[in-house]
Copies of this chain bind each other. A is one copy, B any other.
Amino acid sequence: MEGLLGNVDARNLALATDLYELTMAAAYYNSDCHHTKGIFEMFVRKLPRKRSYLVTCGLEQALYFLMNVRFNEEELSYLKSLEVFKYVGEDFFEYLGNFKFTGTVWAVPEGTILFPNEPIIRIEAPIIEAQIVETYLLSMINFQSLIASKASRIVTAAKGKSIIEFGSRRAHGPQAALLAARASYIAGCAGTSNALAGYKFGIPIFGTSAHSLIMSFEKEVEAFKQFKKIFPSGYLLVDTYDTIAAIKKIIKSGINTAGIRLDSGDLYYLSVEARSLLDSAPGGDYANTKIMASGDLNEYQIHDLLNRGAPIDTFGVGTELSTSRDDPAMNGVYKLVAIKEPSSALCNNEEEVEERIIYKIKTSSGKRSYPGPKQVYRIFENGLIKNDLIKLENEDKPVNSLPLLEKIFDNGEILLKMSSIKEIQRFHLHQIKTLPPKFLDLDFIPETFPVSYSKQLEVKNREFEPQ
């Protein structure tokens, strides 16, 4: 199961949370409302700067968490030792000792394109359970969606040229490096430099050499020759000392190479010069030698290089991608939209319990959201997204629309077989084709998104307006 879902750290999952999820859990437990079910939705209020759409990602790891979250004895002893839990009875910790997630979950598939305020995931579970899982779900889905959304822009800018994710060393720790590689691949990158991402997720991995290899030999050309002995199809890094001189040496020494990598300097000038040297080499031996470029690239630079006709075949993108450097936070939130309570008259007869649903909404200034459990219906025109209609989940499905949220967990049991990462990537690349072209313009910032709400939802929403 771990292999299937590709989780990265199965230990101490339960404590990877904000403490307040646990104090709230204790308060729910103590006030006897832990039979109450909570319905929570995760959505993004506002996209990162310059983004015109969101690519959802991280669901697989989120589901792995839901299936495996448990508290062990040592963790419970730690919690009990805390001053804050001094007045919390032993029975709550016994409850945590038996804790597992038994809820029902709807989510949009990974790789889906969404807009602000559209639910990514909806969870209906005993309110303690739904609360305890909040922080982990948010950190996992926020981060991978952040990177997938950035990667999608970079892939668009590359107009069919390959992008390799190169950012492990600047990612926010080794786990972030791994997850960034996953999210980047889903959004259309050709691969990653991260070997663990290859091992865990089956993502194609790429890598040749760094300057240190070249420098460890007395002569640059000697390093090239030694490297080629065992990596005949490897690319040669040519900018350690003097890029143009290195390319000339390769040609002069007749070192056969599939590609060269430029990692500094004026990439436009150097790629043009390099292509010219390679193409004019005697015998046409270097006509098929590819040019890879790297070095603090982002979507704008790639767009600009290709626009000017730089003959670059592959881009390695590091820091800007693995940290989503221009805006490194996806502000996904997880909000209570309803509670379901056992109808009090029937409370003692669990077999026949009826539930009443009470819609909820927070009205804090600047942070409004719509109440009630929702579904998103996507309506297409000529194969392109025309409009997303958000309705309460119990309303009728509009004709010719595609519901985006699927039920994936039923009372704690997973319902679907996970897609392979290649299938998820294919799904995302199909999604991209459904975006109206203006959304693929790197500078397009929509004033409004193609999202509307059902009448019933607007009515419910008005009931919560301050009087």
Given contacts A195-B22, A196-B12, contact A38 B323 (CB under 8 A): no
Contact status B168-A142, CB under 8 Å: no
**Which of A171, A174, A180, A242 lies at the interface centre, i.e. has the most chain B CB atoms within 10 A of its CB?**
A174
1/0 per residue A308-340: CB within 8 Å of B?
Answer: 000000000001000111011111101110010
1/0 per residue A220-260: CB within 8 Å of B?
Answer: 00000011011111100001111000000000000000000
Residues of B within 8 A of A216 (CB): 28, 33, 36, 38, 127, 336, 339, 360
A449 interface residue per 8 A CB criterion: no
1/0 per residue A344-358: CB within 8 Å of B?
Answer: 000000000000000
The minimal Cβ–Cβ distance linking A117 to chain B, given in whole angstroms, is: 17
* Chain B residue, CB-CB nearest to A88: B230
The minimal Cβ–Cβ distance linking A413 to chain B, given in whole angstroms, is: 24
Which A residues between 335 and 388 are near B, CB-CB below 8 angstroms?
335-336, 339, 360-367
Contact status A193-B18, CB under 8 Å: yes
Contact status A240-B330, CB under 8 Å: no
The minimal Cβ–Cβ distance linking A54 to chain B, given in whole angstroms, is: 15
Given contacts A173-B175, A265-B365, contact A27 B82 (CB under 8 A): no
Contact status B364-A30, CB under 8 Å: no
Residues of B within 8 A of A176 (CB): 139, 143, 172-173, 175-176
> Please, how many angstroms separate the alpha-carbon atoms of A439 and B131 in the complex?
42
Contact status B199-A12, CB under 8 Å: yes
* Chain B residue, CB-CB nearest to A180: B172
1/0 per residue A6-18: CB within 8 Å of B?
Answer: 0011011101111
> Please, how many angstroms separate the alpha-carbon atoms of A360 and B217 in the complex?
10
Choose one: B15, B24, B179, B329; the contact of A209 (CB below 8 Å): B24
> Please, how many angstroms separate the alpha-carbon atoms of A210 and B130 in the complex?
13
A411 interface residue per 8 A CB criterion: no
A200 interface residue per 8 A CB criterion: yes
The minimal Cβ–Cβ distance linking A355 to chain B, given in whole angstroms, is: 15
> Please, how many angstroms separate the alpha-carbon atoms of A168 and B135 in the complex?
7
Contact status A78-B198, CB under 8 Å: yes
> Please, how many angstroms separate the alpha-carbon atoms of A131 and B194 in the complex?
15
The minimal Cβ–Cβ distance linking A234 to chain B, given in whole angstroms, is: 7
Identical chains bound together, number: 2
Residues of B within 8 A of A18 (CB): 166, 168-169, 193-195, 207
> Please, how many angstroms separate the alpha-carbon atoms of A44 and B337 in the complex?
46
> Please, how many angstroms separate the alpha-carbon atoms of A206 and B84 in the complex?
8
Residues of B within 8 A of A211 (CB): 335-336, 362, 364
Given contacts A20-B209, A212-B24, contact A199 B168 (CB under 8 A): no
Contact status A242-B466, CB under 8 Å: yes
* Chain B residue, CB-CB nearest to A13: B174
> Please, how many angstroms separate the alpha-carbon atoms of A332 and B171 in the complex?
11
* Chain B residue, CB-CB nearest to A89: B230
The minimal Cβ–Cβ distance linking A197 to chain B, given in whole angstroms, is: 9
A263 interface residue per 8 A CB criterion: yes
Given contacts A19-B198, A174-B16, contact A84 B139 (CB under 8 A): no
The minimal Cβ–Cβ distance linking A314 to chain B, given in whole angstroms, is: 14
Given contacts A140-B173, A211-B336, contact A230 B87 (CB under 8 A): yes
The minimal Cβ–Cβ distance linking A19 to chain B, given in whole angstroms, is: 3
Choose one: B8, B27, B264, B336; the contact of A367 (CB below 8 Å): B264
Contact status B366-A139, CB under 8 Å: no
A407 interface residue per 8 A CB criterion: no
A178 interface residue per 8 A CB criterion: yes
Which A residues between 87 and 105 are near B, CB-CB below 8 angstroms?
87-88
Given contacts A215-B360, A230-B87, contact A329 B193 (CB under 8 A): no
> Please, how many angstroms separate the alpha-carbon atoms of A457 and B467 in the complex?
74
Closest 4 A/B residue pairs (Cβ): A19-B207, A20-B207, A175-B175, A172-B172
User: Other than the known A23-B231, A211-B335, what 5 A-B pairs have Cβ atoms closer than 8 Å?
Assistant: A27-B231, A38-B216, A139-B171, A169-B334, A241-B363
22 contacts between A and B (CB under 8 A): A8-B175, A9-B9, A9-B11, A12-B196, A15-B198, A16-B177, A18-B168, A20-B210, A27-B231, A30-B230, A36-B216, A84-B233, A134-B210, A139-B170, A139-B173, A140-B173, A142-B169, A143-B171, A172-B323, A211-B336, A240-B364, A265-B364
